[in-house]
Every structure is written in C-alpha cells, then in structure tokens.
Amino acid sequence: MSFANPWGLLGLMAVPAILILHLYYRRFPPLLIGGLHLWGVQTQVREAGRRRERLPITASLLLELLAAAVLSLVLAQPRWAESRRVEHVIVVLDNSASMQARPPGPKSFREETVEEIVRRFQRLPSGSVATLIVTGRRPELLTEPAVPLAKAQAALDGWNPQAVAHDFEPAWDLAAQLSESSGRIVFLTNHLPPKSAPTPKTMEIVSLGQALENTAITAARWTFDPKANKGRVFLRIANLGKNPTDVQVRGRHGEQELFLKTLSLQPGADALLETDVRGGLGELTVDTHSPGDGLEVDNHVTLIEPKVRTVTIAISLPADHAAVRPVQRALAGISETQFGSPGDAQLLIGESAKLPPSQTGLTWLGIGPIDGSEAARKQSKDLVGPYLLEKRHPLLDGVVLGGVVFGGVQPVAVAGKPLEATPLVSAGKQLLLSRLTGTQTAAYLLNLDFARSNLAESPDWPILVKNLVELCRDALPGLKRWNYRLNEEITFRPNAGDRGSDPLTLVFGSKTVPLARGSIVEIPPLQQAGIYEVREGDRSLGRFAVNFHDPVESNLSTLGPGVRDAVSEPPALSYRLDDPFSWLIAAGIAVILVALLADWFVLDRQARARRVLP
C-alpha cells in the first residue's frame, strides 16, 4: 500500500492530542454522594498539581480516535497500487505517405499497422493506457497523453499518413520524454531505420512494410503565355520500382480529357512529359496509372493555371544618359512587363540624383553618376574590384561581377548630405550598389557612370535587371505562385487597399484556418495535398494547389518487414494508475461522520445525565 498524499498522515498527530485531552483535560462532573467506600476505591482528597491517572477508555475517546485515524487515512489517500498496476505504451506511428501504400491484398500498411496496435492493446492488462504520436517535422499527439486504450483505438480511425519524407528523431525524442523511463515505446513503420539511427534504447521497432513497385509524378509545373493564350504543362514521371513498366498519363479538366499518353519506363528511370493546353482552363488534373502501382497519393496532381503578373516599368532617365540603352536592352528580354508613365509604374528607373517619393509598392533604381557636375566626375573613382556582394539578397542572385569595372564611383550623398543606405555591393568603404533606408519605396542606388563602366557589357547586367523586375513582381499583390509541394512555405500579399475588417482565412475542403493579416501573409507549411483558397470574409483572394511530390517517399523498393527489440527494458514497465478509490474515500468519510455523530450522541447523553443525576 502507498499513499498519494503522505502528508495526510500528519493527521495522526491528532491521536496523541486526543489522548492528552482525555487524560489531563477531562472534566468529570462532580456528584455528591454518601458512602464513597461503597464504590470500592481508595478515597482521595484533591490536591493541587497534576496526578498521573489511568486513561479512561470511554466511548467518546474511542470514537474520536477512530474519527482521527480514518480522517488521516482519507487525507493520505491510500493506494493499493499492486492490484492496480497498468502499462503505459507509447506508440510512435510513421506518418509518411508510404504508410498508405497497398501491397497485393486487401490491406494497406496503415491498416495492418492499426491491426497490430489493436492486437498489442488486447494483450495489455486491463486499465492500461496508451499515447499515440505521429511522426513529422513537428511530431504530434493523436490524443492527449496516456488515454485509455479504447480512446486511443478510436483515435486511430482519424490517422491519415500523408507526410513527405522526414526524420523520425523528433517523434522518438518526444516518446522518450513522455515515457519518463517507465513506459514501453513501440515504433510502427514500414521500413526499419538504419542501426546507426539514434533510436531510444527502450523502443521496440516493428516494420510491417514490404518492397513494392511504384510509379510517381515527381514534379509538375504549369506555365502560361498570355500573348499566345496558351499554357504548357511539364510533368516528370518516374518508375521507382525494380521492373519496367508502362505508365498511362491522363490530363483532364473536370471530366474533359485534355491529353492521354503512355510512357514506357525502365526501373529507376524517369521521363519528362510536356504538353500544351489552352488558356483559361483554370484548373486541371493529371492521373497516372501503371500495373502493380503501390502508392496512390503520388499518382495524382491537381494544378492551378498561373495568373499573369505584369510589371509596369517607367524609365525617367534623360535620353542622353549612358544607361538608357543598356536598360532598354536588358528589359527587352523579360516577359510579362510593360512600359508606363512614372505615376503608374511599379518599377521606376531614373537618375540617382533624383530620389523617388516614399511610396509603398514602388521599386526604384537610381543610376549614377550621383553628381553630374564636371568637378564631381573628375573626383570620381574607377574600381576594378574586388567587390563584396551581399549574396543572400535576391537582387544579387546569380550576380558575380567578375571583370566588371565600376567607373565614376562617387560618395553616396546628395547635395553634400550622406544618404542612409544598406550596402549590397561594396569595394572597401565605397558603396557601389545599395538599398536606401528611411523610405517606404524599395529604392536601390547603382553608384557608377555607365560611360566609364563595362557593366552593361557583362553577363551580370541582364541578370541584375531581371532580378530587379522579379523583386518588383514579387511585391505585387496576390500569390507569387499557384502550385506548391507539401511542406513548402507559401506567402500571400494582400492588396494595399485590402484592409477590411473581415478575417483572412484559408479554406481546404470543409476546414477553415484563420490567417494572421499583415503586409505579407505567411501560410504555414501544408501537410495535405489538394486545392486551397485564401478568403477575406466570403471574398476569394486566390486559389492554389498543393501536391505530393517526393521521390524519396514514393520509392517503395526499400520497404521491408522486420522487428528490432528494445536494447534495454525500461526500469519499470508499468506505472501506477492514480485511481482515486472514490468508494474508499466515501466510506472513510461515512465512518468519520458516524463516529462524530456517535461521539456527539455519547456526549449529549452524558450532558443529559448530568442534568438528571444528583
């Protein structure tokens, strides 16, 4: 027996207190009599001071002692844990999409795993509890920890493994943490992890998988040419099995078939399928079918037709500016752009001496020389490197500046006042390309004189301009892309004027998830493939598709059965269930009440006797 609250035993200190009260502080009412000798005791005369007297064993004393003892027991909450020992099993479920693979036969790996769990639950002692953990980049609990087996079993019905390939260590760590060295951990998967994997020593690994043939769509893309009003779908189909197979690829818009092709693929080979589709479809679905295919989730792709995001560009350079022709030449090769007036432009390219207004949504590129005076030109420098590039900035993506001469470099100042800027390209302390701060405009300043520089002739120039246009395009409202993979980060930029009070939500099927409003709305990595929609209230702001593309997870040839026992047994394979024994507490309280009532009855009877007796 143990006690859930051993401090309650301090209540037993009431026992000596009651004894002392009855021994030294009893108040026997006096009774005047004649013939004390007839009571068979030695008469005594009261004297001052204490005397040792025999403790009177009265009914009141016994009842009070009983009440104190039972009260202490109730407070201490005794536990007869030996008869209530139960096991706590922590089940770690491989949440990979490959668990949905279906070998020849009626059951998928997931279904076999569920049956294995149920069989194990049936072997556990009555009253045992279980904790279900699903693996993932962030492992999750299917239910709260240590729930009854029936509840855990019911929770398995909602287990739908669909994750891409991921590490299991976070889930194992969580299981080890929850086990607290007393629970049994079982990891159910479809392939044994390598022995070098850092598995918990108390974890048993059970694999119910087997190698399967599988073909998968490992990549899908849809581009759109607004000029031709024509789209193009790119698909990569891979044979991840060990036998050659023929794959039938069928594209459809709703029930309307768009294309149907058959590919012959050798083991381990893949094929790129490109096909044109007409514009305005909005959405299309691609299905593949091959004999003996093991996994269904990678045979389907749903794509959303890309939207046209045209960038309006204005060039405010003087006609005789040395940068005009290089700029025009670089912009000519960039699609989905148009020229407009400076007031309507999203990208404004002008002289560096004329700073742009502070305006959200405007991108500005100022090109030197900063000071066009002859004196300033004479004082300017020509630099040949080396250059320090801020490679992480998207504007410099792919830019190397090898052999580029930055000529006519001047101090970054206007009217003698230095400009606050963040360097992107610098040479020593000299800023060559920088982003101006203190303005809402995305303002970049190119500190060179094209008349004295070979940048326009280098391959870095069109790349730099292209990056600048794409930066500007990314700043346009709406989605950047419309087709994503699982677990991919997705951002959404609302219109600058969209500051309504309606909440932003992400809708997927019948599920609705609230989104935090901001200048850029970040949508958390999504775990389920399908069509999602961003809404503001009831108004749709954009739809996008998320598809399962994971060659690693689609490769079922490495699956196989196996069991790996725990390296060491946990110190205690079971733990004590904190059974409150409410019936015992109720009985104890009843005994206390009865004892107190009886004590009251006895004392009351004495009081009445005192009134009656002489």
Residues forming the site for other proteins (CB under 8 A): 26, 28-46, 53, 56, 58-60, 602, 605-606, 609, 613-614
DSSP track, 402-441: TT--EEEE--SEETTEEPPEEEEEEETTEEEEEEE-SSSS
CB of 70 to other proteins, least distance (A): 23
Q: Taking the mean position of all CA atoms in its chain, how far away is CA 441?
A: 34
For other proteins, the closer CB: 332 or 612: 612
CB distance 240 to 216 below 8 Å: yes
Report in angstroms how near the CB of residue 42 gets to other proteins at its nearest.
8
Nearer to other proteins, 9 or 59 (CB): 59
* Least distance (Å) between residue 28 CB and other proteins: 4
Q: Which of 293, 209, 189 is nearest to 248 (CA)?
A: 293
What are the Cα distances from residue 285, in Å, to 249, 251, 293, 540, 601? 10, 6, 19, 21, 86
Q: Shortest gap between Cβ of 605 and other proteins (angstroms)?
A: 8
> Cβ neighbours of residue 393 under 8 Å, at least 6 residues apart?
424
d(CA 256, CA 282): 13
DSSP label at 245?
E
> Is residue 244 left, alpha or beta, with left meaning phi > 0 and alpha meaning psi from -120 to 50?
beta
For other proteins, give the closer residue by CB, 37 or 499: 37
Minimum CB separation of residue 586 from other proteins in Å reads 31
Question: Which residues in 80-141 belong to E strands, given as ranges?
Answer: 85-93, 129-134, 140-141
Measured CA to CA in angstroms, residue 273 lies from 129, 217, 293 at distances of: 51, 10, 19
For residues 302 and 252, the answer to whether their CB atoms sit within 8 Å is no
* Nearer residue to other proteins within complex by CB, 18 or 219: 18
Q: Of the two residues 37 and 417, which places its CB atom closer to other proteins in the complex?
A: 37
Minimum Å gap between C-beta 25 and other proteins is 13
Q: Is the dihedral of CA 355, 356, 361, 363 positive or negative?
A: negative
Q: How many CB atoms are closer than 10 A to CB 262?
A: 11
Q: Give least dist CB 601 to other proteins, A.
A: 12
Nearer to other proteins, 248 or 606 (CB): 606
Q: Nearer Cβ to other proteins, position 44 or 83?
A: 44
Closer to other proteins at the Cβ: 34 or 104?
A: 34
Tell me how far CA of residue 233 lies from CA of 165, 250, 300, 373, 567, in angstroms.
26, 12, 14, 54, 51
**Smallest gap, in angstroms, from Cβ of residue 50 to other proteins?**
13
Identify which of residues 552 and 607 has a Cβ nearer to other proteins in the complex. Answer: 607
Q: How far is the CB of 54 from other proteins (least distance, A)?
A: 9
Comparing CB distances to other proteins, the nearer of 359 and 606 is 606
Q: How far out from the chain centre does Cα 596 lie?
A: 58
CA distance 169 to 469: 42
- Could you tell me the smallest distance in angstroms from the CB atom of residue 49 to other proteins? 15
How far is residue 259 from each of residues 6, 249, 276, 278, measured CA to CA in Å? Answer: 76, 8, 9, 12
